[in-house]
Each structure stands twice: as structure tokens, then as C-alpha cells.
Amino acid sequence: MMLPIKNLPPAARNSSVWTIVLLISTLAWIYTIQQSLHMPVSLPGTMGLQAGQFLAFWLLMVLAMMLPTIAPPISTFYEMRHEQAHGTLLYLRTGIFMFGYLLLWTLLGLPTFFFALLGQHLALSTPFSAITVGAASIVIAGCYQFTPIKTYCLAHCAFATTHTCFPQQTSANTWLQDGQAGVKHGLYCLGCCGALMFILVPLGLMSLFWMIALTIIIFLEKALPPQVPLRIFIGIALLCLGLFAWIYPTLMPGFYLPPN
């Protein structure tokens, strides 16, 4: 089945916007891979990163993993502002929209950091509790796939409905409203994909396999038509993964420290 990108409304597939978004994402992936290869994979939790370092790496992962999935709404926003701004100003206003979106996802890095700290503490002090909490978080993410909130947020973020994400533009649109639109879309995206990003903590924040797998999953969830019940399949898969991770805790390097 072909991804329906070519069937998107013209406003959602501006070639310049897609090129810039994919370029930024590619650069973020290159740096993420470099960091992952030099990071000790045997450390659970925050992997020794302080809060500021953790948030910086979290933002880098968001740029790499999430930007390709929001290219259609960025393109749509760009086209909507085209009658109000041109050239550099138009790119700046689109950048403010992206800033609002990324700001929200960066803030999500704070609870993610403390969850990673919890995993690190439990892995070192009470390994069985760490295994249970880590596996439970994956199961909860699986259960979330079946909730009405997930369905509602996915319907807002799906590529097929991206042209309905924003109200009609008016001459009164301000730069502040551009940022607010980014935050609002970020909230929907968080409701759609936040749980999937969150389970990177037990599965291993530096795991290139899981980063790539979740990027593909998030992209396909948004790109495939709603008739394809991908979120259901993903939910079932996560429930099974949580059970297997509880039995085989080596699947959760973020919450498990192998004995020497």
C-alpha cells in the first residue's frame, strides 16, 4: 500500500517546506546516531546525563523522530500565512509555529527525565521493582492505543485531515497566535504520540533500533488512512512486548542493570 502523501491537499505538500523539514531531521539523526554510538549503553535511566544535557538530547530526538511526521501541518501553516507574509518573514512566522510545537515537546522532556531517574534508582536498589515498573509502562502505553483520547488526537494529526487542523487565516493573525497554533498542534501530537515516545525510557533512550522503529510507527500511524487499524495492532504489540519485557528484562536496558 502506497503512503497517501501524494494525495495530500496541495497546501500540505509544499516542496520547500518538506525539503527543509527533512533536512533538519536528517541532521538531527546524524548527530543522534553519533551521540548514541559514544554513549555507554550499560547505564540505565538517564545514562549519567544531567537534566540540561538530557533535555538537549531529548530535543534532538524529537527533531529527528517527530519532524517528518508534522511536515504536512507545517506546510499547511506556511501556505495559510502566505497571503500575510512573504520571503524571510514568512519563514520566520513558520519558524515561530515550529518553536511553539517544539517548546511543548521539550517540556515533556522534564517528566521523562524524572521517569528515567526513577528507573535508574530502582535498577540499582530494587531490580524487581524496576522490571515491574518498566514493563508496566509499556503495557500502559499499549492500553492507551485503545483509548478515545488516542483516537481523537490521531484523527487531528492524521495526514488525511491535516488541512482541517487550523482555522481560516485573518488579517488579525499575530506572531503570538503563530506560536499558540504550534503549541495547540503540539498538544494534539502529544496526545497522539507522547506515550510511544515515553516508552523509549525503559526500552533504552540510546537504542537506535527502537528510535528508528518508533519513528516508522508514528509516521505510519499518521500517514495511513483511518481504515487501516494500525493503532490497534500497535497496542496489541505493546501489550505483548510489556509481558515479554517483564519475563526477559534485558529488553529494557533503561530499567535493568545486568548482573556482573
Per residue in 206-236, pLDDT tens? Answer: 889 999 999 999 999 988 887 778 999 999 9
Task: Say which residue the cell 522490571 belongs to.
Answer: 131
Grid coordinates given for 2: 502506497
> CA-CA distance, 240 to 110, in Å (whole number)?
28
Q: Which of 45, 46, 111 is nearest to 255 (CA)?
A: 45
pTM reported for the whole predicted model = 0.88
In tens, the pLDDT along 86-132 reads 777 888 888 899 999 999 999 999 999 999 999 999 999 999 999 99
Domain ranges of the chain: 14-251
Could you tell me the CA-to-CA distances from 255 to 113, 153, 219, 221 in Å, in that order?
13, 29, 27, 27
Grid coordinates given for 21: 523539514
Please name the residues in contact with 85: beta carbons below 8 A apart, sequence gap of 6 or more.
Answer: 92, 93
